[in-house]
């Protein structure tokens, strides 16, 4: 089953199907206690805070009502170690979207970098889109405002209704759907353009010899590169010509149960397009990789069958390797390469061997 991506398009389609307003009519701090609590708690999580006097006024208002939850399980809350909030529970979906980009009542971030690496590896294998919440969150529970436990109460107590007013011109669903679709496509296009720019900047500093500590557009995005010294132009040259500039290298054995390498890693992620993260434990397609220890480039049966197996991991052709597998090309320590494929395989009970193309 495909994961639900609770974005604006998903939200709008549900609103049209239910013939209700596109967004919650009670989405203000004065109209809904859950909206207020969600917004107030985000102030302590690094977001813009409600002015102190206004926050006190709203707190007193809702404390005197019967709409605040009586149990901790129903309460809107945030939690996380040492002020690093990772879990947002019983949140107003309108507030969640305004701050995180998803209409959700519960969001939980990945626990640590290892969990992030494993999740990114799995998302890459399944071809997840750039706007999939799994790149940032381990769990997201979508919610439309009509499913909020306070919504029916607020509608019942209000003089109006969430249904479209007969005197209000209706939006043509086809026109609105086209607009949402165009917004979605434009958003994805911007993401891919930014990723391409960052990748070109990495290549520029590699081949020009100029070290860029930080790149980006102020106020939009900025990426800091690792302090690891970049290789010189001489190091970047192949000692011999690599066929089609691609082949396979072994970077180590990884134990998924202990979440660590039992051998290696002999290379590390220097840059990851789309997220800008680096130092990931398990490389993915599209990563820019920095070689940490000289690596021999391998293509199964290269000396006898040329490029017949150049798109297949050597360990899946035969194990162990033989002399005919070595191309004669060596990647020297400090070299940057682009990952085109990742292959993880193992014998039962053994760590995974990780080969990269």
pLDDT tens, 248-270?
Answer: 899 988 888 878 888 888 888 88
Q: What is the pLDDT of residues 60-107, one digit of tens each?
A: 999 898 888 887 778 888 888 766 788 889 999 999 998 889 999 999
The band of 244, judged by pLDDT with boundaries at 50, 70 and 90, is low
Across 156-179, average pLDDT: 50
Torsion from C-alpha of 295, 301, 304, 310, nearest 10 degrees: -80
How is the chain split into domains, by residue range?
A: 8-164, 233-356
- Structure-token pair, residue 293: 């220890």
* Cα separation values, 58 from 30, 34, 159, Å: 7, 11, 22
In the three-class reduction of DSSP (H, G, I as helix; E, B as strand; rest coil), residue 125 is classed as helix
- The pLDDT mean for the chain works out to 78
Q: What confidence category does residue 218 fall into, taking pLDDT thresholds of 50, 70 and 90?
A: low
Q: Which of 191-195, 203-207, 269-273, 300-304 has the lowest mean pLDDT?
A: 203-207
Sheet holding 352-356, edge to edge: 260-263, 249-255, 352-356, 342-345
Position 336 pLDDT exceeds 50: yes
Structural tokens at position 304: 């006898």
103 and 142 Cβ atoms separated by less than 8 Å: yes
Structure confidence at residue 90 (pLDDT): 92
Q: Is 183 in a helix, a strand, or coil? A: helix
Backbone CA torsion sign across 23, 27, 32, 37: positive
Q: What is the pLDDT of residues 20-39, one digit of tens each?
A: 999 999 999 999 999 999 98
Quick one: average pLDDT of 133-158?
90
Residue 163: what pLDDT?
A: 47
Residue 156, pLDDT > 50, answer yes
Q: Is the pLDDT at 306 greater than 80, yes or no?
A: yes
The answer to whether the beta carbons of residues 315 and 343 sit under 8 Å apart is yes
Q: How confident is the model at residue 147 (pLDDT cuts 50, 70, 90)?
A: very high
Lowest mean pLDDT among 5-14, 178-187, 318-327: 178-187
């Amino acid at each position: 089953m495909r994961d639900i991506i609770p974005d604006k398009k998903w939200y709008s389609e549900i609103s049209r199907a239910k013939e209700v307003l596109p967004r919650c009519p009670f989405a203000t701090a004065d109209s809904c206690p859950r909206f207020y609590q969600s917004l107030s708690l985000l102030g302590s999580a690094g977001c813009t805070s409600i002015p102190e006097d206004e926050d006190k006024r709203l707190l007193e208002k809702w404390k005197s009502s019967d709409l605040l939850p009586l149990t901790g399980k129903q309460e809107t809350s945030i939690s996380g170690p040492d002020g690093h909030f990772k879990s947002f529970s019983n949140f107003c979906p309108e507030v969640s979207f305004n701050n995180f980009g998803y209409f959700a009542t519960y969001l939980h971030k990945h626990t640590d970098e290892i969990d992030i690496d494993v999740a990114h590896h799995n998302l890459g294998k399944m071809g997840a889109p750039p706007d999939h919440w799994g790149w940032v969150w381990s769990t997201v529970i979508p919610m439309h405002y009509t499913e909020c436990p306070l919504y029916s109460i607020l509608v019942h107590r209000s003089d109006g209704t969430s249904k479209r007013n007969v005197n209000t011109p209706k939006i043509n669903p086809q026109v609105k759907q086209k607009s949402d679709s165009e917004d979605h496509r434009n958003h994805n296009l911007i993401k891919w353009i930014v990723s391409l720019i960052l990748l070109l900047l990495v290549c520029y500093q590699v081949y020009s010899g100029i070290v860029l500590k930080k790149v980006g557009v102020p106020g939009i995005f900025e990426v800091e590169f690792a302090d690891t010294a970049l290789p010189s132009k001489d190091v970047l040259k192949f000692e011999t010509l690599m066929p089609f500039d691609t082949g396979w290298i072994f970077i180590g054995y990884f134990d998924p149960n202990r979440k660590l390498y039992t051998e290696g890693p002999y290379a590390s992620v220097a840059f990851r397009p789309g997220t800008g993260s680096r130092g990931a434990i398990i490389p993915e397609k599209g990563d820019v990789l920095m070689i940490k220890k000289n690596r021999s480039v391998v293509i199964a049966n290269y000396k006898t069958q040329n490029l017949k197996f150049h798109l297949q991991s050597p360990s899946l052709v035969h194990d162990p390797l033989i002399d005919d597998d070595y191309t004669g090309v060596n990647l020297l320590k400090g070299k940057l390469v682009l990952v085109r494929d990742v292959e993880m395989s193992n014998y039962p009970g053994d760590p995974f061997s990780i080969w990269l193309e």
